[in-house]
């Protein structure tokens, strides 16, 4: 796994350790992380701060030129909301840890010209599997199913 997915996974683990949903994300511009975050449903009672959204929020207000030259790394295939945020800001490339525990809107991203790479990284899958087994209700709430 490359260093940026490692950083996203570290965010996911940090979330798990604090009782939250283990999905993490980083946004990389010019080979530097400009925003990192993790799902905040439990920690902040948030319905909008998925991992990718939290990373975007923590990156702060950026000009379009930054987003359009950035790569978003996320440990899990992005849901419709996070996909929409990627499209809004014109982020051209998304690297995904895994899509085996959840398949997001990868086809929509690709249809809009976003480069999508799925690593199928075992540590990302293992973390999510453990979480879903432990907290199926919380997981279903996060993806709008319960």
19 versus 144: smaller Cβ distance to a copy of itself: 144
Catalytic option among 6, 11, 31, 52: 52
Give the nearest distance from C-beta 2 to a copy of itself in angstroms.
25
90 versus 123: smaller Cβ distance to a copy of itself: 90
Which residue in this structure is represented by tokens 């946004």? Answer: 27
Token pair of 54 as six digits = 């939290």
50-64 CB burial, b ≥16 within 10 A, e <16: bbbbbbbbbbeebee
Distance CA 78, CA 75 (A): 9
98 versus 105: smaller Cβ distance to a copy of itself: 105
Give the nearest distance from C-beta 65 to a copy of itself in angstroms.
9
Distance CA 24, CA 39 (A): 7
Is position 52 annotated as part of the catalytic site? yes
How many residues are listed for the chain in this entry?
146
Chain residues in the site for a copy of itself (CB under 8 A): 41, 45-49, 53, 56-57, 59-64, 67, 79-85, 87-90, 105, 140-141, 143-146
Residues with active-site annotation: 52
């Amino acid at each position: 796994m490359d260093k940026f997915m490692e950083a996203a996974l570290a965010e996911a683990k940090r979330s798990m350790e604090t009782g939250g949903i283990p999905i993490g994300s980083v946004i990389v511009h010019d080979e530097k992380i400009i925003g990192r975050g993790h799902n905040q449903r439990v920690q902040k009672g948030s319905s909008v701060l998925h991992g990718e959204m939290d990373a975007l929020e923590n990156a702060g207000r950026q000009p379009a030129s930054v987003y359009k030259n950035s790569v978003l790394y996320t440990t899990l295939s992005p849901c419709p909301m996070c996909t929409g945020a990627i499209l809004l800001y014109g982020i051209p490339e998304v690297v995904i840890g895994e899509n085996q525990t959840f398949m997001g809107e990868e086809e929509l991203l690709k249809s809009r010209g976003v480069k999508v790479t799925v690593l199928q990284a075992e540590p990302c899958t293992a973390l999510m599997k453990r979480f879903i087994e432990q907290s199926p209700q919380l997981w279903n709430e996060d993806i709008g199913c319960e």
